[in-house]
Structure 1
Amino acid sequence: MKKKLFGLIAFLSILILAACGGSSEKSDSSNAGSENDGNDIQELTIKFSHVVAENTPKHQGALAMKEYIEKESDGKIKVEIYPNSSLFGDQDEYQNLVANNVQFIAPDLSKFVGQNPQFNVTSLPFAFPSDDEAIAFWDGEKGQEILRSLTDDGVLGLYMWPNGGKHMTNAKKPIEKPEDLKGMKFRTQGGQVQEAIYSALGAGSESIPFGELYTALDQGVVDGQDNTLSNIESKKFDEVQKYMTIMNHNRVDYAVFTNTKFWDSLNEPTKEIIEAGVEKGTEKARSEAKALNDAALETIKERGNVKITELTPEQIEVFKEALQPIYDQFEDEIGADVYEAIRAVSE
């Protein structure tokens, strides 16, 4: 009996060891499979929301980004683009990016002055002569530092997409000198510098979401607004305005922002494709900006709804002098080092 019992115990022990060995081999196989999955492109649907029309540099950049990502991922990554505030508008797109309800937005940079006053850079009067200088600033050290300053909110800025210099429209009279703005009320995108500009010129200002601006102009809620030529033309603001002044007094520039939780969830091959897609979109948006603005001006002229005033260099100098105190007013908030970075690319 003792021999039989000993033999049974030995047999059971062999079975247990064999089972443990099999379990160990299965676990190793599972780990290997997980590592292989990490080298595969993830299947994703990405939402990109913006507030402007399709025939704008921003939308063209978004389309180029979508095309590249979907092609290079063999359709595993889908990119859904929502223009014209069709998903989220000016007032709620940032909150929905923070909540990861949308993975990419490309808002006007002045919308972030509440999070960081250095985003007022785009509103500084006559800071950047053209797109080239603005791009150089945002691609530089100080610009990148500002774009990446929102990570505490779970938001990461990637690249600046230019829209262009702004020009004024209004329903009252031609604007040729600072005094012409006195008593009028203009829409702004928001921000302290925007408000200070109109205050310095004797005008009132009101922040109105871009998607509501046409109606506000049509109903006389404000007398005028300032914007890029492509935005003025694509939204047909010239239908509800009588005068336009070519000024380039400050800018509308966008940047592509993503949600950090989404961004950090991407494995390397997936992130590489999406990063390259954003770069392709950036190239397209930057190359399209000037061409679309030039074409928009010609279209506005052809429609003939507004009287266009193009300021002479001497007239622009008068506006520059009137608005120069704004630089002193906001130096502490924006930073002397940022001013120096602007001068380095603009002079």
Structure 2
Amino acid sequence: MSALLVLSAGTQAQQAAPTAQQPIILKFSHVVAASSSKGKAADYFKKIVEERTQNRVKVEVYPNGQLYKDKEELEALQLGSVQMLAPTFGKFGPMGLREFEVFDLPYLFDDLPQARKVTQGPIGRALLKKLDAKGLAGLAMLDDGFMQWTANKPILVPADMKGLKIRIQSSKVIDARVRAVGALPQVMSFTEVYQGLQSGSIDGQENPASVIFSSRLNEVQKYMTISDHGYHGYVLLSNKKFWDGLPPDIRTIMDGAVKDTTAYFDTNSQKENDDALEEIRKSGKTRITTLTPAEKQEWKKVMFKVHAEMADRIGKDLIRSIYKEIGYTTTK
């Protein structure tokens, strides 16, 4: 509770009656467009939190890297400068949590139901718990679909990637999967990708259709290949001290909001990707090619070696546990 000092001319300052309790401010920062799946989920979280707490919690959403870029946001969260993020899995490798990079392995999952058996099951929960040691509260994993290639030349077979400068997130495993097809990985903040593609400093990139369309990357890319070569998702997390310090009744509401936001995201992500793909197609600026099952198998043959290459980095037991969970009796 705060006190308001009322000053009047010719009188001494007097302390007035306490005002209503000040709201808890939660800053939710992300680096993609507000119209993306993550952006819409952040806005949905804001809406339901403020409604259910009757504005005792105010959520401020900052899209498009307005506050922090990719490389800065996790440190900002640890310092308490923001209270919530939803970064991709590869961001945790530099913090020493290399296990999260397992989700960057090429062709790890065949579809989203398979992915959710891992991200929303015991394996996912165990990984989230590892964030505690870094001062972070791992709240949920959000499944955003699969990566597609874009470039200014057709990409149909792995050899078409040779020599292309491909923007990637900062992840050793993503670096390896791009190198596996002869491309040259270029780590770049997402907020700089559009300009990089426009200027030609990079030749292509990989993202789900919803991210490509909402960030207008299709405007500067002539070709898109529906390859589904990499799973794409986010970790919804908060500053642990902030989250643990919430009043018990507020914390109960917030936990429920996280659960409902995860369900909202998962329900809408596939539709967002499908709708975005249709909009890209209708724009006529980007030619879209969908790999056939046989063509995709050729990509798998080339890229799947990254699983073995990265096993020591990620953890062989973790990879085996995922294979078991999703029903792989042998390697793909």
TM exceeds 0.5?
A: yes
Name which one, 1 or 2, has greater alpha-carbon Rg: 1
The equivalent position to 2:128 in structure 1, one of 136, 147, 155, is 147
Q: TM-score, normalised by structure 2?
A: 0.89
Which of 218, 221, 225 is matched with 2:201 structurally? 221
Q: 1:127·1:346 contact (CA, 8 Å) conserved in 2?
A: no
* Residue 153 of structure 1: how far off its partner (Å): 2.0
Aligned residue number for residue 110 of structure 1: 90
Equivalence for 2:38: 58
Aligned to 1:46: 26
Runs of 4+ in 1 over 3 A off after TM superposition: 344-347
Partner Cα separation in structure 2 for residue 341 and residue 136 of structure 1 = 12
Secondary structure at 1:186 match in 2: strand
> Aligned-pair distance for 1:336?
2.5
Distance in 1, matches of 2:130 and 2:303, equals 28
Measure the CA separation in 2 of the matches of 1:140 and 1:50.
Answer: 25
Secondary structure in structure 2 of the residue aligned to 1:55:
coil
Aligned residues: 307
Unpaired segments ≥5 residues, structure 2: 1-20, 328-332
Amino acid corresponding to residue 136 of structure 1 in structure 2? K
Q: CA deviation at 1:152?
A: 2.3
Matched, 1:271 2:265: no
CA distance in 2, matches of 1:325, 1:166: 18
- The letter of the residue matching 1:255 is V
Q: Are the equivalent residues in 1 in contact too, given 2:107–2:304 (CA < 8 A)?
A: no
Equivalent position to 1:120, from 78, 90, 101: 101
Query: Displacement, 1:342?
Result: 2.2
Q: Is residue 298 of structure 1 aligned with residue 302 of structure 2?
A: no
Residue type at the aligned position of 1:84: N
* Aligned with residue 111 of structure 2, among 130, 138, 147: 130
Q: Does 1:346 align with 2:326?
A: yes
Residue from 169, 174, 184 that aligns with 2:164:
184
In structure 2, the residue corresponding to 1:174 is in which secondary structure? coil
Q: Secondary structure at the match of 2:225?
A: strand
Q: Which amino acid aligns with 2:253?
A: I
**CA distance in 2 between partners of 1:210 and 1:292 (Å):** 19
Provide the aligned C-alpha RMSD in A.
1.6
1-side partners of 2:61 and 2:101: how far apart?
27
Distance of 2:134 and 2:304 partners within structure 1: 33
Equivalent residue number for residue 9 of structure 2: none
Q: Percent identity?
A: 35
Measured against aligned partners, the alpha-carbon deviations of 1:48-73 in whole angstroms (never above 9, x if no partner) come to: 11111122221222222212211121
Residue of 331, 334, 340 corresponding to 2:311: 331
8 Å contact kept, 1:184–1:203: yes
Amino acid at match of 1:45: I
Assess if the C-alpha contact under 8 Å between 1:61 and 1:283 holds in 2.
no
Distance 1:159 1:73 in 2: 21
- Is 1:157 equivalent to 2:149 in the alignment? no
1:123 Cα deviation from its structure 2 partner: 1.3
Q: Partner residue of 1:19?
A: none
Flag structure 1 segments of 5+ consecutive residues without an equivalent.
1-40
